[in-house]
Structure formats: structure tokens, C-alpha cells
Structure 1
């Protein structure tokens, strides 16, 4: 609640939607959160797709542009659902993928058979310009390969000097 108060105290943050996600489900806690300045209050556990939908609703109501919703995609035995950040490989849920790793994997699969360079990964997934020296993307790709397992990790190809490619 203190974070909510601080955000609301800055005039330049006026109009920024706030959703509180908390395990405290009692009515008095929810009311206190909303009175403090939150626009919505979601109690744990919740489905990630519900959170995404609530965010989209708040952004739409506040006049902020809402990105076009990405569609579920499939490549062989890999299914990716970006609304729930769910990755299923050969019937097994890859729950250990972080949201950033999911976004990188989604980008590679979505753009396949094209090579995705580090500049695009940095802009689309990290939300910043590629600094040309950062190995953050390489570390994320290494983690994705590890989590895909020995058979499927080979589907992410490194193209030297170019970027990464999802091999169908």
C-alpha cells in the first residue's frame, strides 16, 4: 500500500493505472488497497490471463494504447500461448520459463524461418536499444535451450554475426 501511495503522490505519475496483486483476500484489505489509490485489486492465486486482461482493460479506460494481442502459435511439438505465458512442449508444460525467456522464444518461433538479430530481441523483448556488447540476450537464449532439453534445444540455432533462428 505504501508503494501505491508513493506512486500517487508524484504528479507525473497521475493517471498511471495500478493493480495490486496480493494474497490478502479479506474485504477490508481490498477496500484499503482501492482507497489508497489502486485501480484494481487481484487476490492470489490468479490465472495470468486474468491479470493480462485486467491490465488491458485499465489501459483502454485510461486512454493508453493497448498493443495488439499476440496469438497462440505452434511449431512442431511446441505450443506457445502468450495470453497466459504458457509453453507446452511434447505435452509437458515448461513452467520454469521466465516471462522474458518466453517472450524471446515466442519472437523466435513467430519469426521463423527468419533470423532474429540481437537488435530486434533487445527492442521487442527488453524494451531498449541493443548496446552491442551486452550478453544478456545470449544468457537468456542459453537458459531457454537448457529448459527445452537436449532434443529441442537444437532448434534454436545461432547464426554467427546475424542472430538466432528457430529451426522448424
Structure 2
């Protein structure tokens, strides 16, 4: 049975430029959803709070690290969060507190309950922890992002499925 976009659970991953962390989360969560054969239930996307890289593919280092683990991000393109995102997505998940604060400043009050930190769905990491921006670091930073994102993606999918009809 096909679901319209309005009936699907919308999940938006947000970082600053939408070229490292949020497209990684987009690709990894999509992978978990497809592996569970549940893509018909979800609308998944990623965006940035800033317009630094609109239209660009994810950072080459993010793509390489993701490919080593079987996640393909080459079709993704950076975009900025737009006002319609707040009504379109039920889960708007920031990678760090700075981007969560940016979202909170721009989100209409009726949608603020949709905002959160992505790592709140992790069962392995301290939920106060942020997903660090690997942009200015070495390759180990991109691996660390993947470790965090993989675990939080599993927890998020479990949480959404457990709360689908509530």
C-alpha cells in the first residue's frame, strides 16, 4: 500500500552546512529503514541551518567514510531549512545544541515539540553529547560521526515504530 507524503512519518536531520553530519544521518537512517522494508512509511531528508553549501553534494570525506560502511550519499544535495519544514516533518533532529538553538529561534511555537537532539535516541552514548562536526578534523572524525549516527538511527527507528499509533 502506497502512502502519500502527508501520511508518512517525516524525519529531518539538521546540521550547519548540510554537507557532513546531517547527510550522513540521512543516508544511514534511510539504509536502516530500507533494510527493514519500511521506506513506504517514511519521508527522510536533511538540511542545514546556514546557506553555505546549497546545491553541493556531501563532503567528499563524509561520502568516502560512509561508502566504506555501505552507505551511499552521492545523490544528496545540501539545502537550507525552510519554514515549511516545521510543518512537514514530525521529527526535526539537530546534530548539536547550536543548531538546535537556531531551529528553536525559527520554529513556530506550535511545532517546537518536533525539535530535538538526534543523540537522544542513542542507547550507547550520553544523550547530552553532540555529534561533533568533523569538517576541520581528520578522517577519524568522520568515523566517529558514523559510529554515533548508526547507533542513534537504530534507536530512532525503534522509537518511531513503537510510537506510530500513539
TM-score (norm 2): 0.24
> Which has the bigger relative contact order, CA under 8 A and spacing at least 6?
2
Structure with the higher strand share, 1 or 2: 1
Greater Cα radius of gyration, structure 1 or 2: 1
TM-score, scaled relative to structure 1:
0.24
